[in-house]
Amino acid sequence: MQQIINFLIRNKNFLLFVLLFGLSLVFTIQSHSYHRSRFVNSANFLSGGMYDAIGGVGDYFYLKTYNNALMEENARFRESIYLANAELDIDTDSTYTPFTSADSTKQFEFIPALVINNNYSKSSNYITIKAGKKDSVSGDMGVITSNGLVGVIDKTSNSYSTVLSVLNGNFTTSAQLKKSSHYGTISWGNRDPNLVTLKDIPSQAQLQVGDTIITSGRSAIFPKGIRIGQIADFQLDTSENYYTIQVRLFNDMTNLGYVYVIKNNDLEEIKTLETLSNEQ
């Protein structure tokens, strides 16, 4: 007994080192797997508040860029309102009434949020935004800008959230071609912050460099039709059944100002339905 205690006292530094090193390895491994509880993240009062204060300075320099992005978005909205009105005018003349129920238009809500910290040079990147539980943001909500896809909400605190960026090995979502309905999976395989990889597009699809890729709406996170990027390069895989496509993002991931969090009001309904059919 005496010897054991002596041994412990003699090697206390080494044992402490092994203990703490093991602890940090556990944290590291947890951070490499999506959807594990992480104790150490930047969506808390201390780091969130500090990023908020620092971000305030940076925002001032980007005011002009943000303004331009908002102007462009406004212009697009005006255009779509105009187009929608034009369609309605035609429809009132005919006997056909378009299918627009009040519920279907309110399926998705958009919550604006400010980016206060953004990573893009690491091998798994996270973004911190200033919107949290009190703005009714919760985990697994999609995040976009006016230009396209950004990521998915990971952890939330009262007034801050972390976003699993598109530029993260754990991020995947379903995407399709704009001109046909062939769909595949988007993920980030390379270290270039402008490129993502789209896999599993069947070889029957007609592809061209420059084609637009959009979200397919097959997951409950993103609605259909959110712009992702353009085809930069494509090739058949070894079995020659599926294409592997490099997609150049519309979003400049290195320069994000304001983002929108997508809240799906039907999420609960979809989930209960899916669990019901899984049980059977």
Partner 1 sequence: MNSSVLQHIGRFLILIILQVAILNNINFLGYINPQLYVLALLLYPFSGNRTTFLLVSFLLGLTIDMFCNSGGIHAAACLVLAYARPLVLRFSFGISYEYNTIRLSQVIFYERFLYISILVLIHHLVLFSLEVFNVSDILYILQKTLFTGVFTILLCLITNLLFKPSK
Binding residues vs partner 1 (CB under 8 A):
12-13, 16-17, 20-21, 23-32, 38, 40-42, 44, 46-47, 50-51, 54, 117, 119-124, 126, 128, 162, 191, 254
Which is nearer to partner 1, 177 or 196 (by Cβ)?
A: 196
What residues are paired with 258 via a beta bridge? 114
Give the residue among 124, 174, 156 at the shortest CA–CA distance from 48: 156
The CA-CA-CA angle for residues 69, 72, 78, to 5°, reads 140
Least distance to partner 1, CB of residue 252, Å: 14
Least distance to partner 1, CB of residue 244, Å: 19
Give the residue among 245, 127, 253 at the shortest CA–CA distance from 194: 253
Least distance to partner 1, CB of residue 83, Å: 40
Give the residue among 32, 256, 222, 264 at the shortest CA–CA distance from 130: 256
Would you say the C-alpha torsion 267, 176, 261, 49 has a positive or negative sign? positive
Which is nearer to partner 1, 49 or 217 (by Cβ)?
A: 49
Which is nearer to partner 1, 16 or 83 (by Cβ)?
A: 16
**CB-based contact 229:248 (threshold 8 Å):** yes
**CB-based contact 177:201 (threshold 8 Å):** yes
Residues 242 and 245: their CA atoms lie apart, in Å, by 10
Least distance to partner 1, CB of residue 145, Å: 20
Which is nearer to partner 1, 40 or 71 (by Cβ)?
A: 40
Least distance to partner 1, CB of residue 139, Å: 15
Which is nearer to partner 1, 38 or 199 (by Cβ)?
A: 38
Which is nearer to partner 1, 48 or 148 (by Cβ)?
A: 48
Coil, helix or strand at residue 246: strand
Residues 131 and 257: their CA atoms lie apart, in Å, by 13
* The token pair that represents 223 in the structure block: 């609605």
Least distance to partner 1, CB of residue 261, Å: 18
Which is nearer to partner 1, 16 or 84 (by Cβ)?
A: 16
Least distance to partner 1, CB of residue 173, Å: 20
Give the residue among 171, 160, 101 at the shortest CA–CA distance from 128: 160
**CB-based contact 225:217 (threshold 8 Å):** yes
- The per-residue b/e assignment along 210-225, b for 16 or more CB within 10 angstroms, e otherwise, is ebebbbbbebbbbbee
